Amino acid sequence: MPPLIQIEHVRKIYNAHKPDEFCALDDISLQIEAGEVAVFKGPSGSGKTTLLSLIGCMSRPTEGRIRIGEKDVVKLSERFLARTRQQTFGFIFQQFNLLRDVSVLENVLMPLYPQQVPISAMKNRGLELLRQLDMENKQQAKIRQLSGGEQQRVAIARALINDPDIIIADEPTAHLDSQLSADLIEILTAIHQSGRTILIATHDPQLFNHPLISSVFSMHSGRLTEGC
């Protein structure tokens, strides 16, 4: 079985041919198997977030190939890139990126809005996820009324709503204390046990030393220094 994620000689250059040209990623090649939990570690500016955004079909590389399953995502138009992003990935952002004046349930259901899913099915799915994450009683609360840990759980529910194969988490424990971080790792373990692949960018040692992690990639200045 081919790897789920294959990256070959990927480069990402911002502001090409301009005075402020910047090479964020330089000749990255790696493979990740289905069901793995991979951690990308490195200091700020090492290119972890850029790499995750390329894998997650948020943007296209300047050079190189990225295959997700059997699909070469570099060759996709913006519209189909978005579709792949919608169907294959769930994102947990560093800043949670929830819509503040919108309720918990609506935030969770937001990825489903552009899809042809009946409203009742949408709601049932959302409520089920919130129940699993102990957030069902806060379904109508506005985001600004929640604590950091609660917002994190809403973000996770939103990431799972599309039933994606791959979860991408960018610095998921950055705004959490150690207890909440431990809770998060438990949730990630449960997600992994349901058969999903998880990619995490972090510089939290609690995470990259955890037995849940199957591979570690170290990055520095846009290059892989370990785990290629």
Partner 1 sequence: MILHPGIMALLCGTTLVLLMMLYASSLAIKILRRWNFYSCSEEQLQLERKTFLVSTIVNYALGFQVLSLFLFIYTLEEIHPLFVGAMCATGSLNANPVGWSALYVKILVFFAAALWIALNYLDGRAEDSPLIKLKYSYLLLLTPLIGCELYLQISYFYQLDPEIITSCCGSLFSADGSGVAADLAGLAPGRMMLIFYALVGLLAGLAWLCWKKTAPWLRYGFSLAGAIFFVTSLISVISFISLYIYELPTHHCPFDLLQQNYGFIGYPLYVGLFVGTLFSILPGLFQPLKKYPSLTVEIERLEKKWLFTALIFFALFVLIASWPIVFGHFRLMNFARF
Partner 2 sequence: MHHFKILEYALSSLIRRKFKNLAIIIVYTFTVATLASILFLTHSLKKEAEYLLADAPELVVQRLSGGRHELIPLEYGETIRRIPGVAKVQPRLWGYYYDGLIDANYTLQEVLPGHSKLPMLQGRLPQNPGECAIGAGVAEVRRIGLEDDLIMVDSANVGRTFTVTGVFKAESALLTNDLVILEKQDLIDFFDYPADLATDIAVSVRNPVEINTIAEKIKRQLPDTRPISRSEILRTYAAVFNWRSGMMLSVFVAALVAFCILAWDKATGISAEEKREIGILKAIGWETSNILEVKFWEGIAVSLTALLLGLLTAYIHVFFLNATLLTPVIKGWSVLFPTFRLAPFIDPYQILVIAFLTVPPYVVSTVIPSWKAAITDPEAAMRG
Answer yes or no whether residue 74 interacts with partner 1 by CB under 8 A.
yes
Binding site partner of 75, from partner 1, partner 2, none, Cβ cut-off 5-8 A by kind: partner 1
Characterise 105 by phi-psi region: left (phi > 0), alpha (psi -120 to 50), beta (else): alpha
Alpha-carbon gap, residue 94 to 168, rounded angstroms: 11
Contact, 108 vs 130, CB < 8 A?
yes
- Out of 76, 127, 185, 212, which residue is the one contacting partner 1 (CB under 8 A)? 76
85 binds, among partner 1, partner 2, none (CB under 5 to 8 A by kind): partner 2
| Paired tokens of 164 | 């994606």
Q: Reduced to 3 states, what is the DSSP secondary structure of residue 89?
A: strand
| 61 interface partner picked from partner 1, partner 2, none, CB below 5 to 8 A per type | partner 1
Axis-axis angle for helices 119-132, 148-160 (nearest 10): 130
Judged by CB under 8 A, the stretch of 25-33, 78-86, 103-111, 140-148 that binds partner 1 is 78-86
Q: How many residues bind partner 1 (CB under 8 A)?
A: 12
Interface with partner 1, residue 80, by CB under 8 A: yes
- Please give the residues from 10 up to 69 whose contact with partner 1 meets the rule CB under 8 A: 16, 60-63
Burial of 10 (0-12, 13-18, 19+ CB in 10 A): buried
3-state secondary structure of 217: strand
**Residues at the site binding partner 2, with contacts judged by CB under 8 A:** 49, 52-53, 56, 58-59, 78-79, 82-83, 85-87, 89, 91, 93-95, 97-99, 101-102, 110-119, 158, 162, 170
Chain positions contacting partner 1, by CB under 8 A: 16, 60-63, 74-80
